[in-house]
Amino acid sequence: EIVLTQTPGTLSLSPGERATLFCRARQSVSSSYLAWYQQKPGQAPRLLIYGASNRATGIPDRFSGSGSGTDFTLTISTLEPEDFAVYYCQQYGSTPPWTFGQGTTVEVK
Amino acid sequence: EVQLVQSGAEVKKPGESLKISCKGSGYTFNKYWIGWVRQVPGKGLEWMGTIYPGDSDTRYSPSFQGHVTFSVDKSISTAYLQWSSLKASDTAVYYCARSAILGTISQLDYWGQGALVTVSS
């Protein structure tokens, strides 16, 4: 099983600031099969990024993903009020289980 | 429009059985894997496993293997998650979600609204 560790656990920022979230895997994630999801309270998760760096349909370009192998990053270039939420990474590489990280909370400072 | 609509909240006692549903619409249901994800209140997402409606090929997370069963009814475009004997620790919100790429296990692009299962004596 590939364990994903997200850091930091909580990020306290103000609207307009840049957010950088990290996801580290204990083993290499094949073919960069790494996704990022956003979840707001009481809602289902929403796909933001897939294949480490591809934005999902309808996702604003202030969201970007990068990385390969074991280290991945989600960047929100300029935080909007609606971006304060919990973010999860997930790997969906060669073999199950296709695990999630424990999440990073982006909160208003 | 692709939609996944899940059955409603359930309250059950330990030891009881339960089957919850996830109905897909707006796409060819048989050709996209459906995943199941658990979220204990206040906690993170846990990948439980996935099923391919076309042939019921199933992959379970070791953490859930033997405790839950996935199934589908292709005739009504519905996937199911069932327990034969619930435990209090099964209390959680359960999401179904579609794998984005036809015929391939991939990122989850459409999600159901979630079904809260509460197990309490």
Q: How many CB pairs under 8 A join A and B?
A: 68
* pLDDT score at A97: 87
Nearest C-alpha in B relative to A89: B45
Amino acid letter, B73? D
Residue B98 has pLDDT above 90, yes or no: yes
- Length of chain A equals 109
Residue-averaged pLDDT of chain A:
95
What is the model's pLDDT at position A44? 98
CB contact under 8 A, A56 and B107: yes
C-alpha distances in Å from residue A48, one per residue of A36, A45, A105, B80: 6, 9, 15, 26
What single DSSP character describes residue B53?
A: T
- Indicate if the pLDDT at residue A94 is higher than 80: no
